[in-house]
């Protein structure tokens, strides 16, 4: 079942963290970068679900890896705009890195 996958659980925890810390953004960034980041995180979870339910997973996993990179870019931008603390930036990046590694491993296993 998809919700028992470690990559799903980590992605979900990442989504929760994102929803929690976007509430503190200034209005200017809450409804632009904050909403975009939330949408990217939701799409990531959807892609993990889809990959788990398909026989041919490689392309879906590639899209999920691209989602992660977009999220990484948005998080860095938010840190540079001083919307998230260094502590939050590090915590989120650790989660992003964990998801990224799991997706990469899953994708490599599909190639064989």
**Domain range for 39:** 2-111
Distance in angstroms (rounded) separating the CA atoms of residues 100 and 20: 21
CATH of the domain at 60: 1.20.1440.60
Distance in angstroms (rounded) separating the CA atoms of residues 38 and 51: 20
pLDDT digits (tens, 9 = 90+) for 62-78: 999 999 999 999 999 99
- The H-assigned helical ranges of the chain are 6-22, 27-29, 35-53, 58-80, 86-111
Report the 10 Å Cβ neighbour count for 17. 16
Q: For the chain, how many structural domains are there in total?
A: 1
**What pLDDT shows up at residue 28?**
93
pLDDT digits (tens, 9 = 90+) for 84-96: 999 999 999 999 9
112 pLDDT above the threshold of 70: no
């Amino acid at each position: 079942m998809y919700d028992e996958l470690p990559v799903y659980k980590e992605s979900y925890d990442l989504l929760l963290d994102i929803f929690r810390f976007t509430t503190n953004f200034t209005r200017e960034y809450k409804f632009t970068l904050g909403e975009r980041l939330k949408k990217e995180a939701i799409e990531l979870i959807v892609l993990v679900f889809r990959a788990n339910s398909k026989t041919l997973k490689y392309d879906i996993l590639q899209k999920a890896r691209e989602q992660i990179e977009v999220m990484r870019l948005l998080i860095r931008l938010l840190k540079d705009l001083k919307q998230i603390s260094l502590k939050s930036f590090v915590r989120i990046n650790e989660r992003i890195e964990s998801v990224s590694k799991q997706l990469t491993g899953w994708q490599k296993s599909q190639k064989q």
